Amino acid sequence: MEEKMLLSTADILRRSAERFPEKTALVDGERRIAYRELETMAEGLAASLQALGYRKGDRVAIYMKNSLELVTAFYALQKLGVIVAWVNPNYRVAEARFILSNSQAKGVFLFREWEGYDYLSALLEMRSELPSLERIFVAGGGQGKGVSLFDDLLKGGQGKRPTTPAIDPEHDLSMLIYTSGTTGRPKGAMITQMQAVGAARQYSLGTNAGPEDVFIGFLPMSHSYGCGSILIQPLLLGSTLVVMDKFDLKRCFDLIARERVTLQLGAPAHYILELNHPERANFDLSCLRAGLIAGQIAPEGLIGRVQKEMGVYLTSFWGASEVGPGVGVMCPYPSPLEIREEYIGLPVSGTKVRVVDPATRKELPDGQIGELTLSGWHVMKGYWNNPEETARQVVDGWLFMGDLVSREKDGYIRIYGRTKDLINRGGFKVYAYELETLIAEHPKVQEICVVATPNPVLGESICACVVPAKGEAPTLAEIRGFLGDKIASYKLPDELCSMENFPRLSGGMKINKFGQGGVREMALRNESRERHRTR
């Protein structure tokens, strides 16, 4: 590992404050905070937390919307060597309670209220079930047993510096990033400080990001993608971050134009919505030069369309909570459009990749589709308090993630979806992504998601779930006719289910295909879904 990657997460803000003291680090609404001021705020908050007894190795949860408060809390905790347990602000009682209990968090940062939800009341009601939870740190006012106000902690720490412990970035944990948990209980991926800093540096290599760039941050910072690329990357580089608490199209356009944003990191849905918005031309978005796209596989042609219509260099990548935080395979900047449209990229520096048979786990030759496995500096140290699941996911140093890929020319990786996306129709293997790519080109389809449904004869049927474009839903016959002779007949969809929108996971990016309330469950509940009749 290069020496420059052995920074601690606390070093990031301190170093940028020394290099760019008066430069704007963060814009949050009307608040504009320079690097020196942000560092002073984080130090003061850390001093107040230390006075309350928080020490290296303790766990404290952050359960907040994207905000100045979240950024300050994160870097204050990192200065003390306290491990952050991330709780997505979209989570409610059951999800939050599990993470707080599993991590044995001694404290939790939150806003009293956001989006109509009373976080403080919810936490106070569940406290009796959380014996480790000593304090609730609240932004926005409130009171109760063990409640401390965020602003009071900042004021109490003014002019103070904490006694910082010795940090070993290579071994000391920075955070626990919890998986979405759609097929079971969430698992907390243990990410070291070195891994967090190293991942942020790798993100920057995908867009050639530097101190002169201005980032827009609507990805949730509690999510691996948002944490590495938005919370850590800009401050590591000495860039400026414009914070959004949630994605709102017109507000996003306005901020890009007003703040002269140069980099946007998002999911396919974000770019699709931007491209199709009728008022996009009313905003000067010429400052936007590059971006990343992840969360799900980019539909065919989307990257090229963004480049042609918005003038934005866009590249997709592969990542997961377990690779820290969030990036494993990336196209290096600059890469030709045809490479970025076809592949998710090359393994990041210091990473080894194998493609294996999902059943036998034997390595497959280049060109064959199998499960992606990787090893390297950024693979998590395991799941917090879950050795059984750790042993299933990490075998002999290789991380098994359930993604179907092939290694092609010059080592580039092409992705086909999750192993769960593989449909077994009468013994024939059908890759959902192949169908999704083709069906997405139909003029009546805005979004497409292909899932398997039970078939008493064939085992599984192919169900195409579509969000219609402009409200005009295609028929199953139209979809099958559109596919025509493009694919083998056994790959033609057996069923069609129209939906107003697709449910998404808590981060708001990935389509919830298989979890509770997901696309597959919705399709199965929809008895009126259209079925192909065979003669």
246-300 tens-digit pLDDT: 999 999 999 999 999 999 999 988 998 899 999 999 999 999 999 999 988 888 8
CATH 3.30.300.30 fits 426-527, yes or no: yes
Average pLDDT over residues 295-306: 90
Per the omega criterion (within 30 degrees of 0), is the bond before 21 cis? Answer: no
Average pLDDT over residues 21-45: 98
**What confidence tens digit (pLDDT) does each residue in 360-398 have?**
999 999 999 999 999 999 999 999 999 999 999 999 999
Q: Which fold has domain 193-381+389-418?
A: Rossmann fold (3.40.50)
Average pLDDT over residues 18-35: 98
Assess contact for 40 and 31: CB atoms under 8 A.
no
**Amino acid, single-letter form, for residue 439:** I
In the block, residue with structure tokens 């289910």? 497
The CA distances from residue 78 to 74, 267, 503, in Å, are: 6, 28, 34
Work out the pLDDT band at 4, boundaries 50, 70, 90: very low
Average pLDDT over residues 44-49: 98
Query: Is residue 279 packed enough to be buried (19+ CB in 10 Å), middle (13-18) or exposed (0-12)?
Result: exposed
Residue 507 scores a pLDDT above 70: no
- CA-nearest of 207, 196, 225, 179 to 378 is 196
Question: What confidence score (pLDDT) does residue 129 get?
Answer: 96
Whole-prediction pTM = 0.89
Give residue limits of the domains in the chain. 3-191, 193-381+389-418, 426-527
Backbone φ and ψ of 354, nearest 5°: -130, 150
Residue 3 scores a pLDDT above 70: no
- CA-nearest of 196, 216, 157, 179 to 8 is 196
Question: What confidence score (pLDDT) does residue 250 get?
Answer: 96
Which CATH code of 3.30.70.20, 3.40.630.30, 1.10.3720.10, 3.40.50.980 fits the domain covering 3-191? 3.40.50.980
The C-alpha atoms of residue 173 and residue 223 are separated, in whole angstroms, by 17
**pLDDT over 90, % of the chain:** 84
3-191 and 193-381+389-418 have identical folds: yes
Average pLDDT over residues 346-351: 95
Of 185 and 92, more confident: 92
**What confidence tens digit (pLDDT) does each residue in 441-486 have?**
999 999 999 999 999 888 899 999 999 998 789 999 999 999 988 9
